[in-house]
Chains A and B, each alone.
Chain A
Amino acid sequence: MKERLKIAIFSGNIPSTSFIERLIDGVSKHHEVLLFGMQKQKVDYSSNSIRIFSTPNSKLKNSFITLWRATKLFFTNPKALFQLLEEVKKEASNYSKFMKLSKCIPILLHKPDILHLQWAKDLPKYAFLKSTFKIPIVVSFRGAHINYTPIVEPDFAEKYKATFPLVDAFHGVSKTIIDKASQYGDIANRSTVIYSPLPQFFFEAYEEFQKKESEIIRIVSVGRNHWKKGYQYAVDAIKQLKEKGYNVHYTLIGPSSPTEALLFQIHQLSVEDSISFVGQLNQEDLLKALKKQDILLLPSLGEGIANVALEAMSMGLPVISTNCGGMAEVVKHKETGWLIPMRNTDAIAEAVIDFNSTSESELKSITNNAYKFVKNEFDFKNNISKFISLYNTVVKS
């Protein structure tokens, strides 16, 4: 094995989302991690194996830095600079030409051994780094970019078909998503399923399930405001449960206020008193908030494998999830939770009722199964070592 590799973990933004940050942290213990992309806010990494070569957000600052980097590239590798300029010409507007230039120059200056694109949608833009500059590319399939981008923007289907052959290896966050991506190219033998690692934190919070004293059934969902999250079905279900005489309370963690559509729905169904919105929480507060709940509901219409469901399972909170994306790989009906069809209000309500009438001992066994399963498959160290061996195979071949 080659000494330390330079791995570019590219999400477009610095800092990135929490799970990508965890990957950065984990990989940095084995290899050098290079970060490229737009810097949205200042970040301090304790590890000196993580190096940031960001594109500044300010246009003025960016102009100077890009000019400086271009000069450096001109003296170190003039051919690369000219090849890049040729590539950049293909962009439509002057602004996008400049942005592409300013984003790609640092990558060529610090030429990583592997460029790991976190979002499939970036592949068409950066595939030339492989075809022209021979930088090996790994692409992650995490959800939306495979599940619905090519459907709502059909030209992406074509772009994927054209660029998938260039990719050295694919990583899918679930088996389901690799199956889905396979329609855009013959990728099965270059693909590896690596479930996204969960922080130890949640496993440490695991407690054996105990029925709460309260009369109220507390249901919680966690996530941002987006049609894909399917909250409207949850709200319809709350209405249905109330009509059936169940005392329920639904908490949404993530959005601090409802969208116009949800606001209207809640008002029209007169369930204002049974629903509350809590803004985004940090992990510690999220954990505290989840402890007070009886069940986590994932009413989503499309996901990879929702982290929040895994987090709930790891801490011993029962889960009701729609059968979206790869959720069926983790939520096995009545074994590790409740798996229900998507877009189905009745099914949500029925699952809550079923949960409510399940005996404590059975709930103990379901939540314990869920914990064990997640602990096995989503352990942090295990997962990072899978990425490391994925990188190694790419470099070797």
Chain B
Amino acid sequence: MKLGIVLSKPPSYSETFFNSKIKGLLEHGYDVTLYVRENTEEYKNCKVYNAPRVFKNPILQVLSTGFVLLSLVFYLKRILKFIKLEKSSGRSITDTLKNCYKNAHLLKANVDWLHFGFATLALGSEHVAKSIDAKMAISCRGYDMDVYPLKHEKVYDLVWKRVDKVHAISNYMLSKAQELGLPDSVASAIIYPAISPYFFKGKNEKQFSESKSLNITTIARLHWIKGLDYTLEALQLLKQKGVKFNYTIIGEGSEYESLRYAVHELNLENEVSFLGKLSHQTTLEHLKNTDIYLQYSHTEGFCNAVLEAQAMGCLCVVSDGGGLPENIIDNTTGFLVKKRDANALAESIFRVLSMDELDLSPIKKAARTRVLKDFTIDNQIQAFINFYE
């Protein structure tokens, strides 16, 4: 089976789950090739092809277009088919030509499946798979379903018509796709993310203790969707109730300024630290010392960080946004809190703190057991093999 995976860039070293998926499929005899928009680093696990570059300089762009068109001469039949399909869907000539250029690397591909890693990556490439006699798959992961379509109406209409199979990382993502027009007639599968075998080592049992202050952690890009402002407000309420804690945010992003300001205004300077982006390894070290893991996002496709936190034996308190209720079973493997409500989050954390270790320890255990049992890479790879068969 030849599989082409379309991504914006090759998965970085730290994206272990992605790398292990590719490795796993290779081990099962799959021929995997990556097609990317920008090749940021040498990728060793499989072959990588780049999309033609888009130049700002018009002269370079004309030269490059000529070169790319020339290289497509040997694929004339595919190109004609692509153009015909584009025309039949009512695309303008300019857009069709742009798409020819943009998809040149894909139009040369020899694969059985062309799998777009995010739904947005399939936009403008809807007709490629059919033109090269491959099947088309897309993954629905989060932003592509939750936010992008709000700004671009009916953006996936053509994708739904052309796609052969849809992969969603959670039930929530699939229902979002259906809301956006994915018809029931299109085959789909929910394949949850998986965690690296690293987590199976050690036991990671910890207990709250009155003597030391509580360590609370969130791993998130500093982005509005992560609800970090609401989290900080909840922590201020917690501080007012006399709880001693340290809160660590791991991640970087555009909201740093507003969050930093919030920390100052909420008088949390001594409690909160922004650690920026850390390596996967260092992040896990932090989780080792974390008592409570918070993920108070407005929405999540599923959220790997919460999986990893559970595997590391942290008690997870998360919002009920997006796919998080599938990630945490309320009161059994952690706690769900109504989203966008700082009071509710503060109360929830406070309640957890007042609970007995005898009640909390089974929850942490259940979380780790469930994650290690149900979210393994082996399961994930088997699910993907079934997906493509």
Task: Give chain A's interface residues, CB within 8 Å of chain B.
Answer: 148, 151-152, 227-228, 232, 236, 260-261, 263-265, 267-269, 301-302, 342-343, 346
Contact = CB atoms under 8 A, between A and B. Distances in A.
Interface in B231-269: 233, 255-258, 260-262, 264-266
B343 A228 contact: no
Contacts of B262: 301, 343
Contact of B258 (A227, A236, A268): A227
Nearest to A240: B341
B233 A261 contact: no
12 contacts: A152-B256, A227-B258, A228-B258, A261-B224, A261-B225, A264-B146, A264-B225, A264-B298, A268-B298, A268-B299, A301-B262, A343-B265
Contacts of A342: 265
Interface string B330-360: 0000000001101100000000000000000
Contacts of B256: 152
B150 interface: yes
Interface string B139-167: 00000001100110000000000000000
B146 A151 contact: no
Interface in B304-337: 321
A265 B146 CA distance: 11
Interface of B: 146-147, 150-151, 224-225, 229, 233, 255-258, 260-262, 264-266, 298-299, 321, 339-340, 342-343
B81 to A, nearest CB: 37
B341 to A, nearest CB: 8
Contacts of A343: 229, 233, 262, 265-266, 342
B258 to A, nearest CB: 4
A221 to B, nearest CB: 18
Contacts of B257: 148, 152, 227
Nearest to A342: B265
A148 B256 CA distance: 13
Nearest to A226: B258
B44 to A, nearest CB: 36
Contacts of A269: 340
A226 B124 CA distance: 32
Nearest to B236: A343
B260 A152 contact: yes
A265 to B, nearest CB: 7
B147 A264 contact: yes
A346 B343 contact: yes
A236 B299 CA distance: 16
Given A151-B264, A227-B257, A343-B229, 6 more contacts: A148-B264, A152-B257, A264-B299, A269-B340, A342-B265, A343-B265
